[in-house]
Structure 1
Amino acid sequence: MDKPTHLIEYETMLLGRFRHVDRSAYTLLSRLRMEGPMSIGQLSDAFCLDVSTLNRQTTALLRDGLVERIPDPEGGMARKFRLTSAGERHLDEEHARNIRGLEKVLADWSPEDVAAFAAYLKRFNTDVERLGGRPWPRPERSRTS
C-alpha cells in the first residue's frame, strides 16, 4: 500500500463499516428523498444495478414499511416507490446518528480541516459521477441536524 490511490481505496472501504443500517437501504432511501418517487427502471439507471437486485432491496424496504408503491404521479405506466412517513423517520434517525458520529470523530479537527475534507469528498464523488455519467442529486443547501 505504498501508492496514495491504494490508501484511498482502503480508507474508503473502511468508511462503510460503521453504518447502523444496510448501506444500500440508506442510499436508496436517500435517493428517493432527493428525487421523489422513482420506478424500478429509474432506480436501475440511477444506481447502475440490475432490476433483480433492486427488486430484492425494494422488497425489503416495502416489508419494513419504509417505502410504498404508488401509481406514477405523472401518469406513466410503471408504479413508483415513495418514502413512507416511517421511511422518512428512519432516514432522519440514521442521518442524525451519522452526523453525531462524524461530530465525535472530527471534534479535534479545525473548522478549516473539516471544510477542506468535505470539499475533497464532494470533489471526489462528483468526479466519479461525471466519469460514470450518473450525477447524484445534492441538496440545494446543507442540512443541519
Structure 2
Amino acid sequence: MGRPKERGGAVLEKLERELMLLSRHQVLARRERDPERLERSAYVLLSRIDTQGPMSIGQLSEAFGLDTSTVNRQTAALLRCGLAERVPDPDGGMARKLRITEEGGRRLAEDRGVNQSCLARVVANWSPEEVRQLEDALVRLNRSAEALEGRHWPRTEEDGAPATPAP
C-alpha cells in the first residue's frame, strides 16, 4: 500500500483525466452534430445573462475573470447574430447592458434541451439516486472552484442551499 500522498495523487490524476474527457464529449456534441448549435462562449455568456439578468461588459468580464477586450469580442458576436441586444441599465446606471433577445432565448432553450436529452441518454441506465449523487458532486466541485476563484455563479434553485455531499 502506497503512502496517502501517492494514493491521493493517483486519484487526482484520474479525476483530472475524467474531467478532461467529459469536456471533450461536450465539445464534440456541440460542434459536430449540429452547426446551428451555439458556440461554447455564446452558450456560457447567454446562460449567465439568462440567470442573472442584463449585464454590462464590465460585469461579464469580472464574472468570468476575462479581459474586457475578450468579452467585447464575444458579445459583439452575440449582437451581430441577434442573440443579445444593448439596453439602458434597468437600475439607472450609466453603462449599457446586454440582454438576451427573443431569438437568443429560443436558441439557448433549444441548446439546453439538446444537452439535457443527450445527458438523459448517457445516464439512461443509472438509478435516480446515482444521477442525484453525480449532480451533488458536480455542484460541490463547481462551488468549491467558485470559492477559490472568488467568482460565484448564480443558480436559479429556489432554496439556494448547497447540495448535500454524497456519503
The two structures have a TM-score, normalised by structure 1, of: 0.91
**d(CA) in 2 for partners of 1:10, 1:63:** 37
Matched, 1:39 2:56: yes
Structure 1 position 62 matched with structure 2 position 69: no
Which residue number in structure 2 is paired with residue 127 of structure 1? 144
| Match runs of 1:47-126 below 5 Å | 47-126=64-143
State the 1:15 CA deviation: 2.6
Count the aligned residue pairs.
141
Identity level (%):
54
**For 1:94-137, what per-residue CA distance to the aligned partner results, in whole angstroms no more than 9, with x for missing partners?**
00000000000000011111010000000000000011111110
> What's the offset of the Cα at 1:4?
2.0
> Conserved in 1, the CA contact under 8 Å of 2:56 and 2:97?
yes
Match of 1:24 in 2: 41
1:24: Cα distance to partner? 1.4
User: Any unmatched runs of 5+ in structure 1?
Assistant: none
User: Structure 1 residue runs of 4+, over 6 Å off?
Assistant: none
- In the alignment, the residues of structure 2 paired with residue 54 and residue 75 of structure 1 have an alpha-carbon distance, to the nearest angstrom, of 22
Match of residue 14 from structure 2: 7
CA RMSD of aligned residues (A): 1.5
Instruction: Pick 1 or 2: higher relative contact order, CA cutoff 8 A, min separation 6.
Output: 1
